[in-house]
Copies of this chain bind each other. A is one copy, B any other.
Amino acid sequence: MKLQQLRYLVEVYKQGLNVSEAAEKLHTSQPGISKQIRLLEDELGVQVFVRNGKRVVDVTAPGREILRISDRILREAQNLKRVAEEFVNEEEGSLVIATTHTQARYALPPTIQEFLKRYPKVKLSIKQGSPTQICEQVVAGEADIAIATEGIDLFPELAMLDCYQWNRSVIVPDHHPLLDLRGQVTLADVAQYPIITYDFAFAGRSKINRAFETARLTPNVVLTAIDTDVIKTYVGLGLGIGIIASMAYDRYRDEGLFAIDASHLFEPSTTRIGIRRDAYLRGYAYSFIQGFAPALTRKVVEQAMGQSEED
């Protein structure tokens, strides 16, 4: 049994049982993969894949177990490499953050700025996606850390940690009637105007819906976006009023738009970070997390990952 053979297995599976694509992805030849998989199957005495003549068409029952374990082994091998890297150079490496537009644009900049100054040699990259996509990326090992606000409780592989709570604001163009009610805006007032807000998969959209439902109001959502900047643009064009994360409004930058605090209208949302429990995090990753949420010290994070018993 060789680690490469396991890599081949898993990659063929990931590529939808296509040996050729797996070969491409792994920069090797397709006959090589074919042969190594057969060798492994011979060694184990069990078929991993079901073949219809010469096509790989399915995974056998033992194959499913074998793939699961192989995946774990490869992950640990990955961790092992990272441990080594950590000790070779604590300041160098890479860190992949998967997050939503709102976080990337409004919550993360100061943290990232600090981080880049502190760890100039670390290659930091940000991947955007919906909360679900983000978590999937972390689960798949394509990202190290997920930062999102919603829909991220369904991944048992991930440890989730609360970062901070935030509220919403209603943004309106200049001279909007809601501005006259300043301080006393109700949900009913808001429901009178066409609404532009986040896409359903995103940042606490469900909290917005729930608030209206509870008040037995039907909001007229005319446009949804995954992106606060898009929402602002259309609010600026007078197509409706926006409901956005308060932190996404800046009095100076967002000229011609005005924010009305709506923390009394909608439940606050909690932004969380998610990490694979079985991942090995580099030291600077812990540093990044604490930079973003000071309460999340290395100890706290490790405990949440279930690694505390070792230290």
Contact = CB atoms under 8 A, between A and B. Distances in A.
A177 interface: no
A65 B281 CA distance: 13
A84 B309 contact: no
A53 interface: no
A254 to B, nearest CB: 45
Contacts of A62: 83-84, 86-87
Interface in A37-64: 44-46, 60-62
A66 interface: yes
Contacts of A84: 44-46, 62, 66
Contacts of A215: none
Given A84-B45, A86-B62, A69 B79 contact: yes
A69 B65 contact: no
A113 B214 CA distance: 65
A65 B44 CA distance: 29
A104 B76 CA distance: 38
A80 B79 CA distance: 19
A70 B65 CA distance: 21
Contacts of A45: 84-85, 88
B76 A1 contact: no
Q: List the number of copies, as a whole number.
A: 2
A3 B7 CA distance: 12
Contacts of A80: 1, 44, 66, 69-70, 73
Q: Which of A83, A84, A280 has the most CB of B within 10 A?
A: A84
A176 interface: no
Contact of A73 (B65, B73, B83, B85): B73
A96 to B, nearest CB: 21
Contacts of A69: 76, 79-80, 83, 280
Interface string A4-32: 00000000000000000000000000000
Contacts of A79: 69
B46 A87 contact: yes
A216 interface: no
Nearest to A62: B87
A60 B88 CA distance: 12
Contacts of A309: 156
Contacts of A87: 46, 60-62
Contacts of A72: 76
A305 B68 CA distance: 17
Contacts of A65: 83
A76 B73 contact: yes
A81 interface: yes
- Which 7 pairs show the lowest CB-CB distances between chains A and B? A44-B84, A62-B87, A46-B84, A45-B88, A65-B83, A69-B80, A73-B76
